[in-house]
Structure 1
């Protein structure tokens, strides 16, 4: 079984206001990859997003990068179906409870809500939007994802 982490890009890894990676993101990506996780990136945008990801030097961390006009559940499902994964130790990390967190819960994965930035005040409206974990720093993301494997 494989452990995977599917990450949102904008406002999860990348801060568009600062035009830079969110502090700690690169370290966590590198650490998870070294610890045997397969990483996937899902982003909503046009072809220029791929160029941005490449210019940030993070492309090599991901097994696959999905860039689409709209983030759809199907994009996440295709990643999950393409691997024989351990759902109880695979994660979706995102900043939107109404998008990534909802989709992750619907797919039966562990969900990590990075509660920072523009959507930090977005409140889960339904049970399916409630994250498995809520974090405020990249260090907490790493602790949440890596801890179940070393317990």
Structure 2
């Protein structure tokens, strides 16, 4: 019986990984936070632009899938821009609108007032100071009430952990 053995060569990456060096996790997190802090102002601009575009969408005359897709895209863009900066209230309000659009029945026209209310709520959340936690919670609770009223079964899913 013949046994063939290969001399395994170590890859360059494996030798780099095995060597000590680099930065500690704490230093890397501090650097990442500093890099993100420089982008927060631009993120808020993007959020404001998306909210303005959402508010400017005209109410469709009939069931218009394209208008709902545009509203969904603007709400998703708010989530994308707000989530890296822990702007959880903005994310929750935009996600609430996405949930309402997802649950919209195809056989009936969408109540466009929902989009208008969410755009106004997002504007309000953008202008509230960070210490206004009670006002933020009240806005989000009101938006959740809209979801419960418009989507059957939303109250039960909200109660589950």
TM-score strictly above 0.5:
no
Q: Report which structure shows greater RCO (CA 8 Å, sep ≥6).
A: 1
Greater percentage in strand: 1
Q: Which has the larger radius of gyration?
A: 2
> TM-score normalized by structure 1?
0.27
> TM-score normalized by structure 2?
0.26
